[in-house]
Chains A and B, each alone.
Chain A
Amino acid sequence: MSSPGSSRPRRARTVAAAATLALLAPTACGSGEESGSPTINLYYPPEQSMQEVVDACNAQAQGRYRIAYRVLPRQADDQRVQMVRRLAAEDTGMDVLGVDVTWTQEFASADWIREWTGEDAQEAQRGTLAGPLETARYQGKLYAAPKHTNVQLLWYRTDLVPQPPKTWDEMIAQAQQLKGQGKPYRVITMGAQYEGLVVLWNTMVASAGGQILNTEGTKVVLDDGAVKALEQLKQLATSGVTSPSFANATEDPARLEFQSGNGAFQLNWPFVYPALQEADPELAAKVKWARYPGVDENTPSRATIGGSNLAVSAFSRHPAESFEAAKCLRNAENQKISAVKGGTPPTLESVYADPEMDEAYPMKETILAELKDAATRPLTPAYQNISTVISAELSPPSAIEPDRTAKDLRRSIADALESKGVLP
């Protein structure tokens, strides 16, 4: 870079410094811009079919922009930490962000993502399921477009269980009966001190008709339903039907344990189904699915939704193209590709009707039914902190004392909401 003729050291140094800075600068300002079509940096978790979707959108854009798929780390926590760190530093190198449903409010409150307005907002809402759409709103405004959703089902062994249980109590009773007969009996699900435990409890709270926060997400409620859910969780953990590693189980170990044939029931996300078919087709043939069990006999369960939303960074230099790219990445055609090849349930109701979905999602009717009255986790910017204190207070589930735990939870959630709390 420095011309050999220039002998003045200072100039050489300036050039060198500039070169270094250019190297250190985010990749965004590099490629693409000279040719007139901006590069849209999509920061999204690793997903099998995502590159295919990105390619489809790039073809559709016809040179107006080009999406570059930057893969985030695999762990949700690491994904969030990377994005948060860069957004806090007002990094212009991020354009479209794959934001977990539980982070959307946080990012919106911190002024890190842009509001969806006008035609963009209308398109993001048209035909989108209500539950996922709710996770993309903050204070009545839309801040993201739901990309995909997810919901857990009850997986059970038809050779052991003739009729899937409707409630937890029923399931525990069935498991105890199987145990008495010396058959595989375990109820397998995630009980480690992490988000999975919070999802389990949140589902029980919603199924019992309870609430953790008020509707605005500003105050703790933790009503009788929530206390009832605490009782239910303790009952599950102490009735002798869970696996010994329940208090340390996360999604994948739970799946593996069910695959090894120890369980009669598994409560887990739909990814377990293709995995089981691949690992043990014989067992897979005996496994069916049903709606997630409820707490009360006459009230159907309300399962917690997961999934991901697409948001546009507040520091993006190309907001118009970013909104367009985000809309493309989640349109019906591409959601179908993601669902069929990547295994992520769509947020657009119409996609479920597509016959191509039948093979990838034989359980799509059950998923759709659960999604229609699904529960969300508390929608507040402080969710991450709330989740951390909840999982700490609930762990291990066998040690829950409903009234005392509820009291502790009320205090620590209130502290977390006011940024006063200390995270364990």
Chain B
Amino acid sequence: MSGQSGTPLGAELAIEETERAERAEGRRRRRRAPLSEGRRAERRLGWLLCAPAAIVMVAVTAYPILYSVWLSLQRFDLKFPDQREFVGLENYVTVLTNEYWWTAFGVTLLITVVTVAVELALGMGLAIVMHRTLVGRGLVRTAALIPYGIVTVVAAFSWRYAWTPGTGYLANVFGDGAPLTDRAASLAIIMLAEIWKTTPFMALLLMAGLALVPDDLMKAASTDGATAWQRFTKVMLPVMKPAILVALLFRTLDAFRVFDNIYVLTAGSNQTSSVSMLAYNNLIRGLNLGIGSTMSVLIFLAVAIIAFIFVKLFGTAAPGSSDEEKR
């Protein structure tokens, strides 16, 4: 047994070893080598070329973020323009002690965890199928991507009609009644719609990862007598790890900001609001810039924490960073 799985494991270790060495080498080089005149000029040119893009980025992302932080420290309701005042962290206390917020937070977490887990499993299956398909490969891949290509709001509307008694073909599948009026059923439908929409995207990312698995490695493993499951868990998954983590990171961040499916399917009634819905309701419909911005900032922080966990703890490479190090 140990001899059988020895080769693939060894191969994997070898790959990791070289990668680590390369990375360390890159770091050493960067720290030591003094820059030549030409190189410095080149770097300056690089900065100059980047500058417009960087300035635009600061203008369109940093400014709104800072502005909403500033707004979140105020009592600022468009309905009562005279009562605008600085209140410090009062809005944060209001939001963080509010049950609506925590209900929405729970709903968001539930949707995120469930959909991402299911999508990973389904997406992996789909990716393997698409990877192995010999006939009509392009057609199969295109067909699988259709749900992702449909505008979410449009798809959500068709889901809503499908689940509405009278107009829909799905409403009476599980007994009669209106599933979108029931909290548990609504949440299940929302998650189903999310999974339906983004599994293809997950599959696409995973398929890119599958392409990284060298055929030789798989052949070697099977020559050594590894079963299909062993080849999958001991060879494919380790090699695909970066791709899987990137896919998980993208989908988790996306899922955490879930908005359009909920907006169309239930509009947040029966306690099905996500945090983004709540922020929209308070900011756009409620005209309460203080509370709404506070929620936006909290969502921003949550997303930042998720990204941090993935990047630092699981070691997901930020897009582009590993390339740079190798060069």
Contact B282–A245 (Cβ < 8 Å):
no
Question: For residue A87, which residue of chain B has the nearest CB?
Answer: B78
> Complex Cα distance A382/B81, Å?
13
Q: A160 in the interface, Cβ–Cβ < 8 Å?
A: no
Which parts of B203-241 form the interface with A (CB within 8 Å)? none
Known A-B contacts A81-B284, A84-B287; A422 and B278 likewise in contact (beta carbons under 8 Å): yes
Min C-beta distance of B73 to chain A, whole Å = 14
- Residue B285, interface by CB 8 Å: yes
B286 interfacial contact with A, CB 8 Å: yes
Measured CB to CB, the closest approach of chain A to B185, in angstroms, equals 12
Q: Which residue of the partner chain, among A111, A192, A193, A422, contacts B98 with CB atoms under 8 Å?
A: A422
B269 in the interface (beta carbon within 8 A):
yes
Judge if A247 is at the interface, Cβ distance under 8 Å.
yes
In the complex, which residues of chain B have a beta carbon less than 8 angstroms from the beta carbon of A388? Answer: 281, 285-286
- Fill in one digit per residue for A15-43: 1 if any B CB lies within 8 Å of its CB, else 0: 00000000000000000000000000000
CB–CB B80/A384 < 8 A: no
A193 cross-chain contacts in B, Cβ below 8 A: 269-270
B79 touches A422 (CB 8 A): no
Q: Residues of A contacting B180 with CB < 8 Å?
A: 248
Residues of chain A with a CB closer than 8 A to B81's CB: 109-111
Residue B70 is within 8 A (CB to CB) of chain A in the complex: no
* Docked pose: A109 CA to B84 CA in angstroms: 13
A224: interface (CB < 8 Å): no
A63: chain B residues within 8 A (beta carbon): none
Inter-subunit contact B281/A248 (CB<8 Å) = no
Asked whether B177 is an interface residue with its Cβ less than 8 Å from the other chain, the reply is yes
Chain A minimum-CB-distance residue to B76: A419
Residues of A within 8 A of B (CB): 77, 80-81, 84-85, 88, 106, 109-111, 192-194, 244-245, 247-248, 256, 381-382, 384-385, 388, 392, 395, 419-424
Further 18 A-B residue pairs, CB within 8 A, beyond A419-B75, A422-B291: A84-B284, A106-B79, A109-B81, A110-B78, A245-B181, A248-B180, A384-B285, A385-B286, A419-B83, A420-B75, A421-B94, A422-B95, A422-B278, A423-B278, A423-B282, A423-B285, A423-B286, A424-B271
Binding site for A on B (CB under 8 A): 75, 77-81, 83, 94-95, 98, 100-101, 165-166, 177-178, 180-181, 268-271, 273, 278, 281-282, 284-288, 290-291
Could you name 13 residue pairs across A and B whose Cβ atoms are closer than 8 Å?
A: A81-B284, A84-B284, A106-B287, A110-B287, A245-B181, A247-B181, A248-B181, A419-B80, A419-B290, A422-B100, A422-B282, A424-B271, A424-B273
